[in-house]
Amino acid sequence: MVGYIVVESMHYGVMYLGWVGVLESYRKQGIARKLFKSAEEWGGNNGFHKSEFETQVIGLLPLFIKQGYSLEGVGKIVGKDLITICLVKILNNRFEPGPLQGA
Which of 95, 43, 96, 103 has the alpha carbon at shortest distance from 67?
A: 43
In the structure, what pLDDT confidence band is assigned to residue 70 with cuts at 50, 70 and 90?
A: very high
The number of helix segments (H) and strand segments (E) in the chain equals 2, 5
**H helices of 1-103, where?**
31-45, 61-66
- pLDDT of residue 2 exceeding 90, the answer is yes
- pLDDT of residue 102 exceeding 80, the answer is no
- pLDDT of residue 101 exceeding 70, the answer is no
Domains of the chain: 3-90 (3.40.630.30)
- pLDDT of residue 98 exceeding 60, the answer is no
Encode pLDDT of 14-68 as tens digits: 999 988 899 999 999 999 999 999 999 999 888 899 999 888 888 888 888 988 9
Looking at residue 9, what is its pLDDT?
78
